[in-house]
Structure 1
Amino acid sequence: MNAPTPRFGQHDGQHDGQASLLRFITAGSVDDGKSTLIGRLLYDSKGIFADQLAAVSRSKHKRTVGDTIDLSLLTDGLEAEREQGITIDVAYRYFATPKRKFIIADTPGHEQYTRNMVTGASTADAVIILVDVSKVKLNEDGSVELLTQTKRHSTIARLLQIEHVIVAVNKMDLVNYDRGVYDRIVAAYGAFAQSLGLTDITAIPLSALAGDNVVDKSENMAWYEGPTLIELLEGLSVYDEAHAAPFRFPVQLVARHNGHEANDFRGYMGRVESGKVAVGDKLVVQPSGHGATVKEILTFDGPLREAVAGQSITLLLDEYVDISRGDVLAGAAHPATLLKQVDADVCWMADEPLDPRRKYWIKHGTRQTMAKVTGVDSILDVNTQQRRTPDNAAEGLKLNDIARIKLTVQQPLAADAYDAIRATGAFILIDEVTHQTVAAGMIRL
């Protein structure tokens, strides 16, 4: 009997102007085969050079038998990674097929390095969640127990609103390509995804080591009629919702002339994070609230009549207003919300727990100001997806905790809900003493 690709949601279909570039990450638990999968993608799609292949073949940390190439070494470049056979830091690789260009982020599976996974996931359009068939627990009653890191990475993907989730059931060769095992794992992940609120999910059985269903169809799994992994990645639609959102322009730099010209040139440099802007548009400067009108839009290649999300530009205004780095220029009809009290979901990324008595720097767009955590409303259990209230007010967040918190900031933030505009809905917290990033946050309104 033929098995279609299990789908727990439907893709939105191809959008007009679909991007030719797809950013995706691999995620999952330890030794699920993430680095090997990426190596297989690069190798089978001819995405590596001969000298890279030769260097990998000569590696003293080769962990394969005979002349077989250790494909994981194509992404695990750190000496510690090669010695231990694990991924520690995020590794980015680039390759292309005739249909699309790709940027891959290979992220760690170890719980200790979950913060690095968050970094890689923050810019991804899609995530491949690997599930190792040899690691999941298959109970006699037919149920399946997924690993905690698989659940944690899936939860982070949901919080970061990654559009597409691919569940890659890996190492099928270790269970003799048993369709029954695959179906049980897919059913278990589907139930968990439903509790999580994930909607656009596609499952695929494969073996990264043997190459089954990665680039080439597997003769060992004739029961699977769906696309290979590379075909699936080539077909994913990527629609940047930032283009349809209200205009947001965090000011990075105020540009002045060199002092030897008569005209008083004053431009505001930055990147359009969402929406679009045209000459003559009415804007509001936030947080001051002053109005302004777009006089010119300048780029390195010359002036523009209109600019859209993703473009780096210099704005010249008709009015003389006080604007500095950290301010946000927004469309007058739909400004951002000014916040001094912030509700947010955070992923705690520091080894030291949260201390509510301390102050932290908050980096939001181009603005940096002091912040204080005034409350921890709830902490999420990644296994059950239930939130619990902290036992006492002094309980701090620990490494990898995901929680809903309250912040008080010294200067108001021109912010949006992360669900609406990522750029103005995201922030990081920085320890004022060590200058380490301790948390990544998503604003909820």
Structure 2
Amino acid sequence: MTLHYSSSAMARGPTHSVRLQPCKVALLLAAWLVVTCQFASGPGLPLAFKVLSPWRFKEILDYRTVTAKTYTGLPLADFNGKVRGTIFKSFARQQDQKLNPGADIQDAKAGLCVNGQQRSQGMAEYGWLRDGVRVQFKSSQMQFNKDGWQVRFWNVKLNKENPALSPFDDLLLGLYTPRGIFLYRHDLKLGLSTNGIRTDISGCQIQVLGPRRAPWSEALDVILEKMDGSGCTRLGFFSLGDAMLNELALERRKGKVPQLYLGQPLADVSSTARGNCLHDLVKAVDIILNPACTIREVDTRGWIRGQCRVKCRSAQLYWHKSSRRWGFILQHIKFPASGIRESTMKDELLVALYTPLGIYIYRHDLQFGISTVGVETAVLGHKIEVNGPKHVEDWQVALDAILGKLDANTNGCKCLAFIPFRRMEGWSSNELALAESVQE
């Protein structure tokens, strides 16, 4: 028997705290012992993992970056960066049509990958065609980084030495700020820099900084002054309440993922911030599971437990529109591979699967679901992809199938812990703590 706490009562919401009665305690203990025995019985079946109260990690789950706090309650702030970027791209394309009323706006021609295969439309090297001009669009949220506000645009595949050889002709930038959205045509010079060894694969970056330790409004004024004082051209400013923008956002809210995570912990932070929080949560769980070991921080992606080097990666359960299925993709994992990478910097890989039910933590076997990512593998690393069945739109059914793959005795992956976002109906926090102590 494999227990995932998916569509079962463990997934249901918090209720009023009630005083434990002796008979209720006895029933709870008996039920939990039955579950534990079921886990431990039978060849090849997984041992019980720990169900840990979210209250133990409240500080981590409640953490919000300066950026998230600043944007709280503003339109589009509850979307993740990828979805928000898609909205801004559609919005910018419509504005480009308005700015050029007689122009013929067409979809980009996707072209071919380096292996000769046809690219998907989403992989096109530019955004759209305007009377034959290849228009590329990039958006950035104004963010607080260390001690100052900035805007940074990633993966700009611009040929710095000879811009004419770039895969686009016109570069438009959208700045998402607490004040509104600013649309610019970039001069292919301001704030442009390479991105180390990733430049050949991912492209350049454009970064415009505000003054250190200034509030966001003052920093934004400085950033805009730099943009306006360069060769960049401001094409427009749009309120966050713009009707067209809200219409695009409303359409995206009908999608599967935004509604799924609405109101859940960490749903309203960027993917980077959520990854950092999940790293801290997994490390905290690792300390709980290994109380006799010394834990030493290494970096934001791992730590050392005793003599074991541990790396941590996380992924969100997400609907893949093109393949019509739910799944997880863990990226930038530098496994050893012949001709690519001869050694690895980890002895153990822990993965956090962020779902609407809660967070599942697994120890990966360093083999299951691993694949390359083309020419990017040598620089960025491999990926681990685990998917549910195609055309199954019920996320709970898909999640059960995915966890079933991870729990199968055909691989060495092991579920270590589960942190539910909601307690069982009728449980108080004291009762959940009791269940933890019984399981331990």
* Category of TM-score, reference length = shorter chain: under 0.3
Richer in strand (by share): 1
TM-score normalised by structure 2 residue count: 0.24
TM-score normalised by structure 1 residue count: 0.24
Richer in helix (by share): 2
Structure number with higher relative contact order (C-alpha < 8 Å, ≥ 6 residues apart): 2
